[in-house]
Amino acid sequence: LYVPLKGNGPFPAVLQACGHSTNGKAAEKYQKAAILLAKNGFVSFVIDTYAQGERQSVKHTQIDIGAMITGTDLVAYQAWDNIRAIDYLCSRPEVDPEKIGMTGNSGGGTQTMYMMGFDPRVKAAAPSCGLHTRERMFTWNGLADGCHNFAFEGMKLLEFADYFILFAPKPALVLA
């Protein structure tokens, strides 16, 4: 959790979801982004996702396969973590709960796109990477890993861009 050293709160806050990185939230790129946000008047909360940083146990896809057996997926688990992280931010006295944003890179960008449609408390979003069609993803990367596959998206013909439609008219910046 990074809190501005100057100014009077409550401050707007940004949840930062990490992408693929061995050290997760401890990776230099995520630390630099969080510091930059705090220096510019935002509380920044950086969290590790499954199989990264302090949460390395099994790989994304292994978790996803187990989840599919029970009728869910890794994206749902990540969304739950992100919702709980937003709950935490909203509980902090230095955070304005009406001014919550989200950003992330790579898999964190994908999480950001999903959260744009899942949690109405996210008022602005800036996902980085991952905005493409499903067809492009499958021909380029194959199925990717479990953090990119929301259950039944393909059957329902959902595309990543559909999450921006759910988010409208809130501001979103695609970092690509």
Q: Are strands 11-17 and 43-47 parallel, antiparallel or unpaired?
A: parallel
Phi, psi (deg, nearest 5) at residue 174: -90, 120
- Which pLDDT belongs to residue 43? 98
Contact 40, 113 (CB under 8 A): no
Q: Are strands 122-128 and 43-47 parallel, antiparallel or unpaired?
A: unpaired
pTM, full prediction? 0.86
- Which pLDDT belongs to residue 170? 94
For the ranges 123-127, 140-144, 155-159, which has the lowest average pLDDT? 140-144
Q: Is 39 helix (H, G, I), strand (E, B) or coil?
A: helix
Say which residue, 37 or 27, is predicted with more confidence: 37
Q: Is the pLDDT of residue 36 over 80?
A: yes
Amino acid identity of residue 87, one-letter, is: D
Quick one: how far is CA 80 from the chain centroid?
Answer: 11
